[in-house]
Amino acid sequence: MDETDRWRHMASAPKDGSRILVTIRPSEQGPAEVDLAYWSNGDQFGGEGWRASDSSPGHIIEYAEPELKCWMPMPSANLNRFSMPSPWEGTDGPQFDGSGI
């Protein structure tokens, strides 16, 4: 398995503004989803936290820490094989990072 093809704990997500894929926890609004997010240190649009803007052009979405289950790096630029990964459906236990194998 490629290093970029696995979900990781949110605690290890980069907070340098780089874009990553995140699993959004299921809620009353719908099932788990994957979104493209980044950490913002805060600006005129809001305080520091996880944001997404690519899924809804012109609209910035802010995610509370508990809404995000896990993350993975963006896949390589090889667009011929890229497809959005499925959301992490497992528990929050030690199975992230391959440690449950």
In a domain, 90, yes or no: no
The answer to the question of residue 52 being in a domain is: yes
Domain total in the chain: 1
Residue 12 inside a domain? The answer is yes
Instruction: Assess if residue 96 is contained within a domain.
Output: no
Would you say residue 15 lies in a domain?
A: yes
Q: Domain of residue 31: give its range.
A: 8-73
Asked whether residue 57 is domain-assigned, the answer is: yes
**9 neighbors 100 (Cβ within 8 angstroms):** no
What is the amino acid identity at position 40?
S
So what's the pLDDT on residue 101?
Answer: 39
75 with 4: CB under 8 angstroms?
yes
* Coil, strand or helix at 8: strand
94 within a domain of the structure (yes/no): no
pLDDT digits (tens, 9 = 90+) for 48-101: 899 997 666 678 889 999 999 999 998 876 555 556 778 877 777 555 555 443
To the question of pTM greater than 0.85 for the whole model, the response is no
Residue 91 maps to a domain: no
- CA 92 to chain centroid, in Å, comes to 15
44: left (phi over 0), alpha (psi -120 to 50) or beta: alpha
pLDDT score recorded for residue 82: 59
Q: What is the pLDDT of residues 29-50, one digit of tens each?
A: 899 999 999 999 877 767 789 9
